[in-house]
Amino acid sequence: MSHNIIDWNGEYLYNCLFFTVAHPVFTKLRAKWYSNPHEKGGHKIVPPDLHLTWRTAAVWTCDDGSNHFSKKYKQKNLILHTESFSENDVDFLLEKLYNDLGISGAINHHYSKPTIRICGDNAISFIEQIKPFIPWKCFQYKLKTI
């Protein structure tokens, strides 16, 4: 069967396959970010040599961030979803946020898994700092400060 649109004939296909490229760069990154990189289902870890920049914070926010106004706390909240990491790793990420970027946050729990909550002025400052690194329209909703 051809996948060319000209040969489609209006038929629907019900499945799709995607493949990722195996490359030494990805293998090296997996070894850095997983406790057992060669086993399926290895636990995510935060590498001890991690250094945060505003660019890495922007990418992190695009991937794992949610930005909203909390009625509970009556302030702006930015949540970084870190549920895949241990509480010790999330503590380490909080230290990195403070030491590398000057941003204070706290551990929050989402279904008993640790997340990072950045509130109030810290959330607004964080958003303002990452804005230059997020030019894509599809992510602008993550940059609202009101």
1 pLDDT more than 60? no
102 pLDDT more than 60? yes
| Burial environment of residue 105 by CB neighbours within 10 A (0 to 12, 13 to 18, 19 or more) | buried
Q: Return the pLDDT at 121.
A: 94
Q: Return the pLDDT at 4.
A: 67
User: For residue 34, what are the CA distances in angstroms to 25, 40, 46, 56?
Assistant: 14, 10, 8, 19
Residue 7: DSSP 8-state: G
Cβ–Cβ under 8 Å, residues 103 and 126: yes
pLDDT tens digits, 20-60: 778 898 889 989 999 988 888 778 999 999 999 999 999 99
Spatial distance between the Cα atoms of 143 and 63, rounded to a whole number of angstroms: 13
Q: Return the pLDDT at 5.
A: 65
Q: Return the pLDDT at 93.
A: 98
The two structure tokens encoding residue 134: 């997020």
Q: Using DSSP, state whether 13 is helix, strand or coil.
A: coil
Domain 54-143 has CATH 3.50.50.60: no
> pTM (2 decimals)?
0.81
pLDDT tens digits, 116-132: 999 999 999 999 999 99
